[in-house]
Chain A
Amino acid sequence: MMMIQAIDSILARIGRSTLGMFESIGRLVIFAAIAVSHIFRPPFYYNAFLQQLINIGFYSLPVVGLTALFTGGALALQIYSGGARFNAEAIVPSIVAIGITRELGPVLGGLMVAGRVSTSIAAEIGTMRVTEQIDALTTLSTNPMKYLVTPRVLAATVILPVLVFIGDTIGVMGGYLVGTHRLDFNDATYLKNTWDILEFDDVSSGLIKAAAFGFIIALIGCYSGYHSQRGAQGVGNATKTAVVTASVLIFAANYLLTELLF
């Protein structure tokens, strides 16, 4: 009897949390749909959009650039030591180029931007929520979704591919620098091998991923902040939730998109 009750309560708990999860997903999807719908309905807040392009794009350049540089360098060393086992050291430039553009550039760049941007968006919008600034926007006949959320989501979606493209270039450079200085590759051969192997799809599939990651980063930041609980602790939780959720969703989306674009 005790046993059945225990199992019963465990099942109930699993059921409740599953329902809760679907509810959160549903709410997030509705939030996203509203944010996107405002792109097509005037008024548009151009200034807010431009400001977010700078905040999210320009100020993330150093982080994304350095991440790509070191990753490209490390990748060159790893591939070299792996390739040496079957006398295939010459493969280094090709693998670095493909690894960076298809996978590491967008994923690592996305994660770094998630750490930098989704947290700051969540903290900013969360603070606006708890200090009633979002309510104040509403009473001043300004739709907070349109004014706060849409410009951020749109800016991140547009600018992440640009960031990742720059990161790709720097990442390949990192591989090149290590290849020509630490390993004994010839300058011209390394560049030629890189250039010959790369196809349009390698780069474009990475950039499509980047756009999706940008959307996720800003959306999750906005969503967490917008639904922040009261007080400093509420904003702290919103920030933490934002970076964790955005990172996990980036990995999940990366797998799905890789399947689709393969």
Chain B
Amino acid sequence: MIKITDLHKAFGSNVVLNGVDLHIKKASSMVIIGGSGTGKSVLLKCILGLIQPDSGTIIVNGVDTKSGDREAFLDQFGMLFQGGALFDSLPVWQNVAFRLLQGKHRLSKADAHDIAIEKLRRVGLKPDIAELFPAELSGGMQKRVGLARAIAAEPQIIFFDEPTTGLDPIMSGVINELVREIVEEMGATAMTITHDMSSVRAIADDVAMIHEGQVQWTGPIGKMDDSGDPYLDQFINARAEGPIEAVR
């Protein structure tokens, strides 16, 4: 579904991605882990074309992302940004329904509103927040509105950048289940970044760990615990001692 080959990206002298190779299978859930600042968010943005990679190829559905119709390409995606990135000039429901109100397949306002309410419910939010503005919500609520927006148009490929950060444990559980449902029932392909190991275990079919600009380890979730990779072991067991230096 998504095949990344030898991807490089540097910001000035700061080399972030240094030859990433990764393959995400159709209708599967890939979870990306790795230390803070290792370039996980940059990787997702490179796939979406929000950041121009320096070199390397990204093939989505058999099409090189550098060629082809960008609009059609982006139509298959949903993205939850790490910071939410909600439009603060629009009420919550219009944020969620944003894509449904644009473009060729535009829905009526009433229909879009109904769908927005339904998606808000799926992320554990009540209908009465629909008319509020993003600035009037708590951080965790904003995150969930961002999540509802990402899934609103039922895209084939969904990227979640830290969907459960800032949520209470119960809500995290709800969101983990939601991600699973989207993959299993809707057949979507999901790519999730998370620092929460319980989320990793709940969401992932496959796991990839990014370290120093490369994929340090990748494989099915079942093999994560006995990978024999010292970097991965240190990371998933949250040890301060190991090959990864704590000060970066």
Contacts and interface: CB of A to CB of B under 8 A. Distances in A.
Interface string A127-145: 0100111011111111000
Contact of A141 (B85, B86, B87, B102): B102
Nearest to B76: A141
Interface string A173-198: 00000000000000000000000000
Contacts of A141: 71, 74-75, 99, 102-103
Contacts of B160: none
Nearest to A141: B74
B93 interface: no
A140 B102 contact: yes
Given A141-B71, A141-B75, A136 B102 contact: no
Nearest to A138: B50
A132 B81 contact: yes
A136 B81 contact: yes
B9 to A, nearest CB: 15
Interface residues of B, number: 21
Interface in A135-182: 135-142
A142 B102 contact: yes
Interface in B74-122: 74-75, 77-79, 81, 83, 85-88, 98-99, 102-103
A231 interface: no
B81 A138 contact: no
A137 B88 CA distance: 12
A142 B74 CA distance: 10
Contacts of A137: 87
A135 B85 contact: yes
A43 interface: yes
Given A131-B85, A132-B83, A133-B87, A139 B48 contact: yes
B81 A135 contact: yes
Contacts of B85: 131-133, 135-136
A142 B94 CA distance: 14
Contact of A136 (B71, B75, B79, B103): B79
Q: Kindly name the residue among A128, A133, A136 whose own CB sees the greatest number of chain B CB atoms within 10 A.
A: A136
A128 B88 CA distance: 9
Contacts of B99: 140-142
B45 interface: yes
Given A139-B50, A139-B79, A141-B71, A133 B86 contact: yes
Nearest to A136: B85
Given A136-B79, A140-B99, A142-B102, 7 more contacts: A132-B83, A135-B45, A135-B48, A139-B74, A140-B149, A141-B74, A142-B98
Interface of A: 43, 128, 131-133, 135-142
